[in-house]
Amino acid sequence: MGDKANAHPGAAGRATAADHPASVRNVVLVGHSGSGKTTLVEALALTAGAVNRAGRVEDGTAVSDYDEIEHRQQRSVQLSLVPVDWDGYKINIIDTPGYADFVGELRAGLRAADAALFVVSASDGVDGSTRMVWEECAAVGMPRAIVITHLESARADFDDMTRICAEAFGADDPDAVLPLYLPLHGAEGPDGHAPVTGLIGLLTQRLFDYSSGERKEAEPGPEQLPLIEEARNRLIEGIIAESEDETLMDRYLGGEQIDVKTLVQDLERAVARGAFFPVLAAAPAAEGARQGLGTVELLELVTGGFPTPLERPAPTVTTPEGQEREVKACDPNGPLVAEVVKTASDPYVGRVSLVRVFSGTLRPDETVHVSGHGLGDRGHEDHDVDERVGALSAPFGKQQRSLTHCIAGDLACVAKLNRAETGDTLSAKDDPLLMEPWQMPDPLLPLAIQAHSKADEDKLSQGLGRLVAEDPTMRLEQNQNTHQVVLWCLGEAHADVALERLRNRYGVQVDVVPHKVSLRETFADKAAGRGRHVKQSGGHGQYAICEIEVEPLPNGSGIEFVDKVVGGAVPRQFIPSVEKGVRAQAAKGVVAGYPLIDVRITLLDGKAHSVDSSDAAFQTAGALALREAATDTRIHLLEPVAEVTVLVGDEYVGAVMSDLSGRRGRVVGTEQAGGGRTLVRAEVPEIEIGRYAVDLRSLSHGTARFNRTYARHEPMPSQIAERMREQAQNA
């Protein structure tokens, strides 16, 4: 671990295929946007020798593989993998976006990793969304450590930020969130700020000086040891409290000096099993420097304290018939079980899949079974297909470095899996298996689009298909009621990225149009109508008359047709024609063009002609009768109402309930959800919550979540209904 006396100077940075799961470490970086995750990844790659001092690989590109969108938006929008070698280990560093709209990429990173580094800015602190991710990791027992960045900020205070982290992340046990090092400050500048130039190891009481641009170890001065005594004693007590050796605490309290080697071993075990969460500091390398402050310590924490893939429980695996299949955890010789954690399109090699292998060994040019199930509605049916694996590679900037194989516990990029999508399972062709999917948030912000031109219309379907294949947090809907193509996204930034990818990656120009909700019409009272379709011209004419009565039915009844004709006024063969005509008219609407629902239409009487009556004539008469009935009564415009549940921190409950009321919502109940949060249940018209995903995030500072399900249609207020009718007539 980083507090060991002898630091490894760094290995050749070219990551190769791992030979055994014990030599692999998979770590994901978590933190809010702007916390410094990507900068930290580049600093770790520099220290490990994977990049040069300018942060570039051999082809001149940055090790963090930015795409054009990230360059323009100045933030990460996708997961990226940076594999490096350190001290004989292969470390797969997974960088994830910090912005809430790209939480799908974060969830994929958590799935692929065995431990997490939470990156916290000393100038910004811990936000609510980072706390929520910490709780998710805690729920599955994922080992975690905390890295404090931006120590160069004039208002940065390591001690204060450590306390904040303990309060935010150590709710159950604040003594489990403690620093392993204290920063060493240099001389104060003109602004009174003393830069951090090194670290003092609390266990070994050794000084690690980075002021020269490379890590140098030294003895601390006698004036520095008293400064670390209190923090050192607290760290030792925290480690001993989590030790599996129950005698250690008694020995320590009895005055025995516990060997540093024993403490380091117990610390590593506690970190690996997710019982202790060390706090470290890190900063990027200064210009011309070879190592960034704290990067050696971080790499040693990852290799020494974080678990191997062998220590991760095997995922739940089932056969195509749904029977659970026992798979040994991370066995390179076991049955192949791998998962696509990210899908991307490359203009030169086509689709590239980032795959985590959980069991078995994946090799190029072999045929695998691809099972596509689990991560929600993708806009097409699930698939089970066999595909030939293309080349395996490890990404380095824009480069893809060839791999000969990928064993259980490792990650690799796979080329030419044309049907595989994010969340799919890869298994042996003759032994198909399926992994239990990870949880993804529902996209709840609708984006209605249409092709800009005829040429774009031809390419739109293919572009949208590729888009949702890459991103399971995006849902494609072809709404049969409103005849709109709708992309459901997580937020505005997510929607902007989708549009930009359609335009620049797939060459499809689209126009964004107002999103429509599925309105309906119904009769407010009983009404009668007479449909008369009589036309005479040369030859056979058209003759059909029918009289109907329409009455409203309870919500959810649909359209009911009743025949009460007596005496053969309407011949039996034409009664289905009348029903067909009124149902066709009901589908078109009777006032504003929205489908008619929840009415009983009773055919009472009519007239026919022995020669001129026909199926088409009675269909027309039925439609005319329904339209006439609509002119004799009030027609309600019905709007869909959603059941909405909002999980929100207690401090925002009042604001959320007030906001829901302002959206014509009815709060139907609240209940405590634990952890200082409340579940608010409400019924809200769908027309009022089109942008609720964006507005709720702003209202709760990104800490609230909500779900919505269709409940029913109910009458719209008269003023709003009149406005909607006018819009429909002018469209």
User: Binning pLDDT at 50, 70 and 90, where does residue 490 land?
Assistant: very high
Show Cβ contacts of residue 439 under 8 Å, excluding neighbours closer than 6 positions: 107
pLDDT higher than 80, residue 202? yes
Domain membership flag for residue 259:
no
User: Binning pLDDT at 50, 70 and 90, where does residue 374 land?
Assistant: low
User: Binning pLDDT at 50, 70 and 90, where does residue 194 land?
Assistant: confident
pLDDT higher than 80, residue 17? no
Per-residue pLDDT tens over the stretch 134-143: 988 888 889 9
How large a percentage of the chain has pLDDT more than 70?
91
Give pLDDT, residue 731. 64
Domain membership flag for residue 229:
no
Give pLDDT, residue 347. 63
Domain membership flag for residue 706:
yes
Give pLDDT, residue 7. 36
Q: Which tokens is 536 given?
A: 């005479």
Domain membership flag for residue 401:
yes
Give pLDDT, residue 63. 54
Write out the DSSP string of 545-575.
EEEEEEEE--TT--EEEEE---TTSS-GGGH
Residues 548 and 690 in one domain: no
Give pLDDT, residue 70. 52
CATH number at residue 463: 3.30.70.870
Q: How far apart are CA 388 and CA 394, in angstroms?
A: 19
Q: How far apart are CA 236 and CA 267, in angstroms?
A: 9
Residues 278 and 394 in one domain: no
CATH number at residue 328: 2.40.30.10
Give pLDDT, residue 538. 64
More confident residue, 277 or 538: 277
CATH number at residue 656: 3.30.70.240
Residue the block writes with tokens 């002898």: 6
Residues 484 and 528 in one domain: no
Residues 125 and 178 in one domain: yes
Residues 596 and 483 in one domain: no
Question: Of 34-48, 352-366, 369-383, 544-558, which range is least confident?
Answer: 369-383
Residue 323's domain comprises 317-435
Give pLDDT, residue 8. 39
pLDDT, mean of residues 419-441: 90
Give pLDDT, residue 154. 76
Per-residue pLDDT tens over the stretch 623-669: 999 999 999 899 999 999 999 999 999 999 999 999 999 999 999 99
pLDDT, mean of residues 465-479: 88
pLDDT, mean of residues 64-70: 53
Per-residue pLDDT tens over the stretch 689-705: 999 999 999 999 888 99
Domain membership flag for residue 235:
no
CA distances from 707 to 372, 645, 693, 696, 704 (A): 25, 5, 10, 12, 11
Bridge partners of residue 522, in order along the sequence: 636
Domain membership flag for residue 713:
yes
Residues 33 and 156 in one domain: yes
CATH number at residue 40: 3.40.50.300
- Radius of gyration, CA atoms only, the chain: 33
pLDDT, mean of residues 19-44: 92
pLDDT higher than 70, residue 74? no
pLDDT higher than 70, residue 599? yes
Per-residue pLDDT tens over the stretch 306-356: 999 999 888 889 998 889 998 888 999 999 999 999 988 766 667 889 999
Residues 303 and 159 in one domain: yes
Q: Which helix (H) or strand (E) holds 436?
A: none
Write out the DSSP string of 130-169.
HHHHHHHHHHTT--EEEEEE-TTSTT--HHHHHHHHHHHH
Give pLDDT, residue 620. 96
Domain membership flag for residue 246:
no
User: Binning pLDDT at 50, 70 and 90, where does residue 257 land?
Assistant: confident
Mean pLDDT, the chain, integer: 88
Residues 644 and 629 in one domain: no
Give pLDDT, residue 53. 57
What is the number of structural domains in the chain?
5
More confident residue, 154 or 468: 468
More confident residue, 438 or 649: 649
User: Binning pLDDT at 50, 70 and 90, where does residue 424 land?
Assistant: very high
Q: Which helix (H) or strand (E) holds 576?
A: helix 575-588
Question: Which of 419-436 are b and which e, b meaning 16 or more Cβ less than 10 Å from the residue's Cβ?
Answer: ebbbbbbbbeeeebbbbe
Q: How far apart are CA 686 and CA 640, in angstroms?
A: 6
Residues 292 and 324 in one domain: no
Q: Which of 633, 653, 682 is the last residue of a domain?
A: 633
Give pLDDT, residue 427. 95
Q: Which of 590, 609, 633 is the last residue of a domain?
A: 633
Residues 179 and 31 in one domain: yes
Q: Which of 406, 435, 464 is the last residue of a domain?
A: 435
Per-residue pLDDT tens over the stretch 547-583: 999 999 998 899 999 999 998 899 999 999 999 999 9
Residues 588 and 653 in one domain: no
Question: Of 107-111, 123-127, 346-350, 466-470, which range is least confident?
Answer: 346-350
More confident residue, 550 or 65: 550
Give pLDDT, residue 723. 87
Domain membership flag for residue 247:
no
Residues 675 and 573 in one domain: no
The listed range with the strongest mean pLDDT (51-65, 286-300, 615-629) is: 615-629
